[in-house]
Structure 1
């Protein structure tokens, strides 16, 4: 299985065009037999920033996707619409492995985060070990719909957390007050330079 997270930063005047092209791409991609999952998000702080989260059965499925007309159209416009080159993260599963997102309730106001953060090399293994315990407990929280951790192929010391919550207060008021979350937070404070929130992207689903 192959997983990618792609960040697109679009020129403001092309934001609506990019939205339309991505919506068309989502519709087609979800019909492809090799696609496990695709979700497109916009950054709540900047509507010109898009994130594409994709999981594929294998490299052949991803290559087939690249040849589809809607993908070719997307690729053809990037040179004109992007304010900077796309940032592509090839992700690798950690343990416990990613799981299917829990179903949301009609009243849920989904709160989603991509936490993309660099760590000092000496802390990489301790953080991965701590997250094994952290993830197991977090997934049992009533407000947690999804919580996965990935390593990145391009940068050994960059990690990615992908998470969905039923509502924002489930994160700040409940999750971060759990003993395992406090332990993880203390370790991250040593391993990551600066305020952790600078690496958090609060996003909403495009479709």
Structure 2
């Protein structure tokens, strides 16, 4: 399994515009066949700081995901609305559960 995490610091004036873009990304990503889970959160101690957590079946699912038009649109929108460049990490789960 592959785990992707990301963070974005969105300017106060862009928060209202960012939320529907992020919700669309989550909804469409969850519909992909290789998606295990996908959620996003806003830090209650630092409003405007968003955290994304995704789980994917394998690297092929991740590669497919990153070619989808809506995903590329989300990345571009996040870059435009963020105060600093968004950060992303891709990790492979090394020990399986159970």
TM-score range, shorter chain: 0.7 to 0.9
Q: For residues 98 and 50 of structure 1, do their structure 2 counterparts lie closer, same or farther at Cα, with a shift above 3 Å needed?
A: farther
Aligned to 1:14: 14
Q: Is the 8 A contact 2:38 2:52 kept in 1?
A: yes
Aligned to 2:30: 30
TM-score (norm. length: structure 1) = 0.43
Aligned to 1:66: 66
The CA deviation at 1:23 is: 0.5
Consecutive unaligned residues of structure 1, counting only runs of 5 or more, are: 100-207
Q: How many residues align?
A: 98
The CA deviation at 1:12 is: 1.4
CA distance in 2, matches of 1:82, 1:76: 10
- Alpha-carbon RMSD across the aligned residues, in angstroms, is 1.9
Aligned to 1:49: 49
The CA deviation at 1:64 is: 1.4
Aligned to 2:3: 3
CA deviation vs aligned residue, 1:141-172 (integer Å, no higher than 9, x gap): xxxxxxxxxxxxxxxxxxxxxxxxxxxxxxxx
TM-score (norm. length: structure 2) = 0.86
The CA deviation at 1:29 is: 0.8
CA distance in 2, matches of 1:78, 1:93: 26
The CA deviation at 1:91 is: 3.2
Higher relative contact order (CA 8 A, sep 6+): 2
Consecutive unaligned residues of structure 2, counting only runs of 5 or more, are: none
CA distance in 2, matches of 1:64, 1:90: 14
